[in-house]
Structure 1
Amino acid sequence: MDELVVGADLGGTSTRVTVATVGGARLVTVEGGGGNPTTHGAERAAAELAATARRALDGLEPGRVRAVVLGVAGRATLDDERAAGAFREALAAVGISVSPRYVGDAEVAFSSATAGAEGTVLLAGTGAMAVRIRDRRVDATADGLGWLLGDEGSAFWMGREAVRRAIAAICGTGASTALAGAVCGRLLGDSGGGSAERRRSGLIRAAAGQPPIELAALAPLVVAAEAAGDAVAATICDDAAARLVGLIGEVRATGESAPLVLNGSVVREPASPVGRRVRELIAGRFGGDVLAPADGLVGAAWLAVRSIRPEWPDQRLTEIHARLAG
C-alpha cells in the first residue's frame, strides 16, 4: 500500500489539509476553520487541525502517513515546546504517529510554485515581506515587521492609505476621490452625510476602535476605485507596487535568474491593480521567471515527500511536484 504524506496550511481564517501519496497523487483536500496558532492560540489551532485532518483521512489509514508538513505564517510561535506539543498530541489523537515539521509561509509559497532550491518570494496579503530562499529555506527577509513597524504595500497599508486619503478629500486638504464615500460607507454606514468635521472625527474613531490590522479589509475599496478610474486610488496602487518591488530589491540581486514567486491577495493575480504594476516594475529591473503558486498546499505536500525521500533524484522529485500541482 502507498505511503501517505499530509500537507497543511494553517491560516487565520481557514485550515486546509491535503493528503497525497508519496508518488504525488493528491487523494483529498479538506478545509476547516481558522488554525493559525498566533491568531487563535496553540490549543485552539491544534484542535482545528485535528478536526480537519480527521475529515481528510476519512476512509484512509492514518498509520500510513509517513510525514506531515504544516505551513504557517509566524511559525516562530511553534518554537515554544508547549505549543508544538499541542500539535503533536492533536495529530496523535487522529492516529498520525509522526511528528509534524513546521515551515514558514514563504518557504511553502516558494515550493508550491517551483521545485527549484533558490529564488525569491514576495508575500503581499494582509502583511508584506520579501524573502530570499536558499536550499528551500529562508536566507534573508525584508519587512514582514507587522502593521506597527512595516508591512509596506500590504492590504493593511492600502486600507490605511484609503482612510488617510478619504479624510484629506473630505477636509479639502487632498484631492477629490471616490474613496471618501466608499470609506465612509464602510466604516460609518454613511457615504456622505453630515459635516466634514463630523465625518473626519467619525472615521478617526472607527479606525481606532478596531484592531489596526482590520484596515486590510478596506484594500478592495482601493482596487474597485482604481478600476473605475479614480486617480487617488491609482496613486495608492502605484505607491504600493513601488514599495513592494523595493522590498524585493533588498533581498534580490538585479541580475539574478532564479525564480521570483509572487503570492498573497495583493499581488498573486497578474490582472489585479498592484499585481500588474509589480510585474511591470519587475520586468524592468529583475531577471528570472515570475511565478505564482496555484495552490499553497502543493509546497507543503511536496516538502513532506522530500523529507522522507531525500535520496530520490531531482528529476523524480520534480515530476512529483508537477503531479501534485496538476
Structure 2
Amino acid sequence: MNSAAVVLGIDGGGTHTRAVIAKSGHIVGRAQGGSIKRLRVGPEIAEENLRALLNEVFSKAGISRVDAASAGVASASMPGVPEWITEVFRDYGIQRSEVVGDEVIALDAAFHGGPGILQIAGTGSNCIGRTATGATESAGGYSSVLGDEGSGYWIGLHGIRQGLRAHDRCEPCTILDRVGNVWGTKTLAELVDYGNTTPGPDFSALAPVIAAAAEDGDAVAQRVLQQAAADLADFILLVRRKLRKRHGLTEEVPAAFIGSVLDKIALVRNRVTELLKAEAPDMNFAQQGVAGVEGAIWRAQRLAER
C-alpha cells in the first residue's frame, strides 16, 4: 500500500473544472479552471483549460510528480475523450490514471465504494444508485433538450416558460422582470428574442433568480421549484425501485446529492426530503452535498495502491 502517494483528482463538470492534489492523504493544492467538456467549449479550448489547470494545481501543491490521477468528466463516454485526457496526463508524467464519468466520482465521494443512491442536480441532472456488489442503476440524465428535469437549466428555462404563461393569464409574477434585469432586455419581445438565440443563453444561471422570486413569495416561481423537487425525488425513488426489483436489494440504502440546486435552494432540498420521507421513511437522505473531486481523490488513492 502506497500511503505516501501523491495523487490528483479532477472533477470536470459542464461549467467549471476543479483539481486537487493530495500527498499522504492530505490536500496540498487546489485549483479551479474553465470547462474541459469538448462539446461545450471545443477540443482546443478544452485542452488549453486542462493544461492551465494542471499547471496551476502543480504549482500550488509545490510538487513535480503525481503517482496516480482520477478524472471524472461529464463527457467521459464520448469517443476520444478518455484518450486525449490520458495523453495530457502523460505529458505531465502521470502514467497511472483513469477517466470516468463525473457521476462515478460523485458516487464515490458520497459512499466510498459502498452502496447508495446519488442525485446529481447542478447544471444538468442525473441519478445513479449502486448495490454493495457494485451493480448500478440510473434514471434521468438525458440532456437539457430531452430531460434533465429538476436541474438548474430546467429551473431557469421552465421559470421563463411559466412566467410567460402567467403573463398571458394576467397572473401576478415577477419572473420575467427579474430575468429581464439579468439579461439586460427592456421589453418582453427582446427577452423572447434573446431566449431564442443560437447558441442560447445559460438558463442554468437563472436558477438563483427563480429561487429568489420563490423566497419573496412569487407563487409561479414556487410552483416551478416544487415541480423540480418532485422530479428529483421521483428519480431517487425510481432508482431505489430498480435496485430492489432487478438486484434483490432488501435493505434500505442511503441517498446523497451533489450540485447547486439541492445544495443552495432550500425549498427544493426540503421538499425532496419530505417526499422521500413519505415514500421511504427509513432512507437516510444527507442534507449536505458532496464534492465530486473528493471522490476523484479517493479513487486516485486506490489506483496508486494497486
TM-score above 0.5: yes
Gaps of 5+ in 1: 194-198, 311-326
User: What amino acid is aligned across from residue 64 of structure 2 in structure 1?
Assistant: E
Q: Choose from 161, 166, 180 the match for 1:184.
A: 180
Q: Aligned-pair distance for 1:68? A: 0.7
Q: Is the 8 A contact 1:163 1:203 kept in 2?
A: no
Q: 1:96 aligns with which of 91, 94, 97?
A: 94
Unaligned runs of 5+ in 2: 245-249
Distance between the aligned counterparts of 1:19 and 1:138, measured in 2? 29
Shift in CA distance, 136/89, structure 1 to aligned 2, threshold 3 Å: farther
Question: What's the TM-score once normalised by structure 2's chain length?
Answer: 0.86
Query: Deviations 1:230-256 (Å, cap 9, x if unpaired)?
Result: 111111111111111111122113875
SS, match of residue 147 in structure 1: helix
Give the distance between the partners of 1:174 and 1:244, measured in 2 at CA.
30
Q: Could you say which residue in structure 2 is the equivalent of 1:320?
A: none
Q: Which amino acid in 2 is paired with 1:216?
A: S
User: Which structure: larger Rg?
Assistant: 1
Counterpart mapping for 1:1-326 below 5 A? 2-21=4-23, 23-58=24-59, 59-62=62-65, 65-77=66-78, 79-80=79-80, 83-98=81-96, 100-134=97-131, 139-171=136-168, 173=169, 175-187=171-183, 189-190=185-186, 199=188, 201-212=189-200, 214-253=202-241, 256-269=251-264, 272-286=266-280, 287-291=282-286, 292-309=288-305
How far the C-alpha of 1:259 sits from its partner, in A, is 1.9
CA 1:225/1:112 → structure 2, altered by over 3 Å: closer, same or farther?
same
The amino acid of 2:11's aligned partner reads: D
Determine helix, strand or coil for the equivalent of 2:137.
Answer: strand
Comparing 139-148 with 8-17, greater Cα deviation is found at 8-17
**CA 1:308–1:30 in structure 2 vs 1: closer, same or farther (change >3 Å)?**
same
Deviation per residue, 1:232-289 (Å, 9 max, x gap) = 11111111111111111221138752221111111124x6221221122122222332
Query: Normalising by structure 1, what TM-score?
Result: 0.81
Contact map agreement 1:188 1:206 (CA 8 A) in 2: no
What letter corresponds to residue 49 of structure 1 in structure 2?
Answer: L
Alpha-carbon shift at residue 294 of structure 1 (Å): 4.2
How far apart are residue 154 of structure 1 and its match? 1.4
Runs of 4+ more than 4 Å apart: 135-138
- SS in structure 2 at match of 1:290: coil
Give the number of equivalent residue pairs.
293
Shift of 1:134: 3.8
Q: Partners in 2 of 1:15 and 1:229 — Cα distance?
A: 35
Contact persistence 1:73–1:104 (CA under 8 A):
yes
